[in-house]
Amino acid sequence: MPLLQHNETTIQYTVHKQPKLQFTKIYLDDLNGVQVTAPEEKSDEKVQAFVEKKADWIIDNWQKTHADLYPESLSIEEGQKIIYLGRAYRVLFEEADTEESTFSFQKGKFQFCFSPSTPEKEQIAALNEHIEAWLREKAAEKFKALTKQPVTVEDDVTRLGSRQEDAIALNWRLIHRKKDAIQTVIEDIIEGKTY
């Protein structure tokens, strides 16, 4: 599958070449990602150029369709929440005497400790990096518990997941959804469904 790097996002797409087709078309398949149909005679370079031209449209539509997978970045303000397995958990902020920021989840709450001498932009960046790293780690743990199939966690490549020869790959962002919704995606991938 060809890959296209556009800004911070990787777009993975599948090309289906067909005879008697006059136009190149793109459609988004939630499970399998970006699908491109193109005339047989169109070169791979021209198909990639077309996908590149439509990259902003692809990313915008993907993120609108899956808004639950793309919560806004958090800031250092009380009342912030992180969505994990379909539930919203409060984030507590605490100033600490350490240079390094820390992030943990205990008793149903997230806690972010940071140095008050660190500039706010750096605090926010550190918070969001900690959140993503924690969610990726939990995705690897939780996804394996939901199926007997071997599971790998993949970067966000504009698809929910894919079936490979001996395993399935799931978008780490699915960790924002409830377990039963993740289970449905896993079953659909195993069965080879599209939607």
How high is the pLDDT of residue 40?
94
How high is the pLDDT of residue 63?
92
Closest to 85 (Cα-Cα) out of 157, 20, 172, 175: 175
Say if residue 17's pLDDT is above 90: yes
Q: Is residue 76 part of a domain?
A: no
Q: Which of 65, 89, 119 marks a domain boundary?
A: 65
Domain coverage including residue 92: 81-138
Q: Is residue 162 part of a domain?
A: yes
- Do 7 and 61 sit in the same domain of this protein? yes
Q: Predicted confidence band at 1 (pLDDT cuts at 50, 70, 90)? A: confident
Residue 193, CA distances (Å) to 53, 111, 186 in order: 28, 39, 10
Mean pLDDT of 60-79: 91
- Do 120 and 87 sit in the same domain of this protein? yes
pTM score, whole prediction: 0.87
pLDDT digits (tens, 9 = 90+) for 85-123: 999 999 999 998 888 899 999 999 999 999 988 899 999
Say if residue 195's pLDDT is above 80: no
- Do 92 and 132 sit in the same domain of this protein? yes
Q: Which of 93, 120, 138 marks a domain boundary?
A: 138
Q: Please tell me the total count of domains within the chain.
A: 3
How high is the pLDDT of residue 45?
94
Q: Residue 70 has what DSSP assignment? A: -
